[in-house]
């Protein structure tokens, strides 16, 4: 069967790299990039693009009708920091965007749907270290609340309508190709840009804030591996814990100094993102992903630092 894939939210940090990766695997014409904004040159010129707002049901319906996708990736969302600036919009976009896609996937019998969740589903009372798949979850950001509710909807549509929906709880994602989109973990990208440009960075998270992170290459590969896995292997239809590497701003700065010895790190105070970070896990237990679909990250802190610096220098 020829796969026809629609990626909604294709211009974001994940979408930019996912569309390129999917086009390599499935062919340029078989991966339709969709976003509310004009795409950058690469995406527009390497395959089909459509302007789509995931809250507009009629436009979405016409996309499903036109392409009859076998797989849909819904990436459009407001993240943790921007979500707090506009909680009602974050809830509307993150929740109703998902429900629109789940409903259309049933109507058009889409074979597989992918929707990303996040470590933001955990909260102040979740275990901080090696946070298990199943535990207390009390997110206190609108982003985290919408992701936890979305996970429940995904499982509900799977149980009730047998929809093959798959999901990963992403940690902070580190990449150089596209700008990050308003998250709490964005410092781990800005630090590389400023280290190279200015030799110094003012972190909005404090020195000891340890968070789960992952290099984008691993995240994209893991996402496609989950989508390619045999359905019989997928026992979790809410969202899989997913881990790469955990570090603090101080540890990351020390790693960057191995390549830019004069780099200095300072800290800003009273940033609202600190409270969000303090409510999240320090590290994640992803043994279900390891056991069920053989997940294995390739990038540790040293390898991702080398790759970020090499590519940003270009
Ligand atoms: C954010 O910081 O909001 C995101 C996430 C961890 O989901 N990067």
In contact, 49 and 32? CB cutoff 8 Å: yes
Pocket test for ligand 1, best of 9, 12, 76, 79 (most atoms within 8 A of CB): 79
Q: Whose CA is nearest to atom 7 of ligand 1?
A: 118
Token look-up 């570090």 returns 247
DSSP state of 30: G
pLDDT at 193: 97
Both 84 and 156 in one domain: the answer is yes
Both 33 and 91 in one domain: the answer is yes
Both 61 and 181 in one domain: the answer is no
Residues classed as catalytic: 143
- For the entire predicted model, the pTM comes to 0.97
Both 147 and 208 in one domain: the answer is no
Specify the ligand 1 atom closest to the Cα of 141. Answer: 3
Task: Give the H or E element holding residue 113.
Answer: strand 112-114
Q: How many residues does the chain have?
A: 314
Centroid of ligand 1 to alpha carbon of 120 (angstroms):
7
Both 146 and 252 in one domain: the answer is no
DSSP, collapsed to helix, strand or coil, labels residue 116 as coil
pLDDT at 118: 98
Specify the ligand 1 atom closest to the Cα of 118. Answer: 7
Q: Which residues line ligand 1 (CB under 6 A)?
A: 79-80, 118-120, 143, 170-172, 183-185
What is the per-residue DSSP string for 139-185? --SHHHHHHHHHHHHHHHHHHHH---EE-EEE-EEE-SSS---S-GG
Pocket test for ligand 1, best of 9, 84, 183, 215 (most atoms within 8 A of CB): 183
Both 67 and 87 in one domain: the answer is yes
Domain ranges, residue 52: 5-171+214-241
Instruction: List per-block mean pLDDT (blocks of 10 residues) for the chain, which spans 314 residues.
Output: 95 95 97 92 85 98 98 98 98 98 98 98 98 98 98 98 98 94 96 98 98 98 98 98 98 98 97 98 98 98 98 94
If 0-12 CB within 10 Å is exposed, 13-18 middle and 19+ buried, where does residue 37 land? exposed
Specify the ligand 1 atom closest to the Cα of 80. Answer: 3
Token look-up 């809250």 returns 55
Both 165 and 261 in one domain: the answer is no
Q: For residues 69 and 243, give the distance between their C-alpha atoms in angstroms, rounded to a whole number.
A: 30
52: which 2 tokens? Answer: 């789509």
Centroid of ligand 1 to alpha carbon of 285 (angstroms):
17
pLDDT at 43: 77
In contact, 283 and 126? CB cutoff 8 Å: no
DSSP, collapsed to helix, strand or coil, labels residue 247 as strand
Both 233 and 199 in one domain: the answer is no
Residue 198: which residues within 8 A CB-CB, separation 6 or more? none
pLDDT at 276: 98
Centroid of ligand 1 to alpha carbon of 66 (angstroms):
33
Half-sphere exposure of 140 (CA within 13 A, CB side): 13
Both 48 and 121 in one domain: the answer is yes
Centroid of ligand 1 to alpha carbon of 2 (angstroms):
33
Total count of domains within the chain: 2
pLDDT at 38: 87
Q: Whose CA is nearest to atom 6 of ligand 1?
A: 172
Both 121 and 221 in one domain: the answer is yes
Nearest to 214 by CA among 298, 295, 157, 291: 298
In contact, 219 and 173? CB cutoff 8 Å: yes
Both 180 and 76 in one domain: the answer is no
Q: Whose CA is nearest to atom 1 of ligand 1?
A: 183
Token look-up 């997110």 returns 139
Specify the ligand 1 atom closest to the Cα of 79. Answer: 3
Which of 222, 241, 260 terminates a domain? The answer is 241
Residue 303 bridge partners (DSSP): none
Both 134 and 194 in one domain: the answer is no
Q: Whose CA is nearest to atom 8 of ligand 1?
A: 172
Q: What is the CATH number of the domain that holds 29?
A: 3.40.50.720
Q: What is the CATH number of the domain that holds 249?
A: 3.90.25.10
HEC-encoded secondary structure of 214-259: EEHHHHHHHHHHHHHCCHHHCCCCCCEECCCEEECHHHHHHHHHCC
Token look-up 């929809």 returns 163
């Amino acid at each position: 069967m020829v796969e026809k894939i629609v990626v909604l939210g294709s211009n974001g940090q994940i979408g930019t790299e996912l569309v390129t990766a999917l086009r390599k695997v499935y062919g340029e014409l078989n991966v339709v990039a969709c976003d509310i904004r004009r795409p950058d040159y690469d995406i527009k010129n390497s395959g089909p693009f459509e302007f789509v707002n995931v809250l507009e049901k009629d436009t979405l319906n016409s996309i499903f009708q036109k392409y009859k996708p076998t797989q849909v990736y819904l990436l459009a969302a407001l993240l943790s920091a921007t979500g707090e600036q506009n909680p009602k919009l974050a809830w509307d976009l993150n929740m109703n965007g998902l429900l629109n896609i789940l409903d259309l996937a049933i109507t058009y019998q889409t074979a597989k749907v992918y929707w990303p969740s996040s470590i933001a589903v955990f909260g102040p009372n979740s275990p901080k270290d090696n946070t298990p798949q199943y535990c207390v979850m009390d997110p206190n950001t609108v982003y985290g609340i919408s992701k936890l509710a979305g996970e429940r909807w995904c499982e509900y549509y799977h149980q009730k309508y047998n929809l093959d929906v798959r999901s990963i709880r992403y940690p902070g994602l580190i990449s150089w190709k596209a700008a990050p989109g308003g998250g709490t973990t964005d410092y781990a990208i800005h630090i590389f840009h400023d280290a190279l440009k200015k030799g110094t960075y003012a972190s909005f998270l404090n020195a000891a804030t340890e968070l789960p992170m992952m290099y984008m290459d691993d995240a994209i590969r893991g996402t496609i591996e989950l989508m390619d896995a045999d359905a019989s292997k997928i026992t979790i239809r809410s969202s899989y814990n997913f881990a790469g590497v955990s570090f603090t701003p101080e540890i990351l700065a020390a790693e960057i100094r191995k390549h830019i010895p004069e780099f200095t790190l300072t800290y800003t105070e009273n940033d609202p993102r600190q409270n969000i970070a303090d409510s999240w896990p320090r590290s994640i237990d992803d043994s279900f992903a390891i056991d069920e679909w053989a997940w294995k990250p390739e990038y540790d802190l040293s390898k991702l630092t080398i790759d970020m610096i090499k590519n940003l220098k270009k």
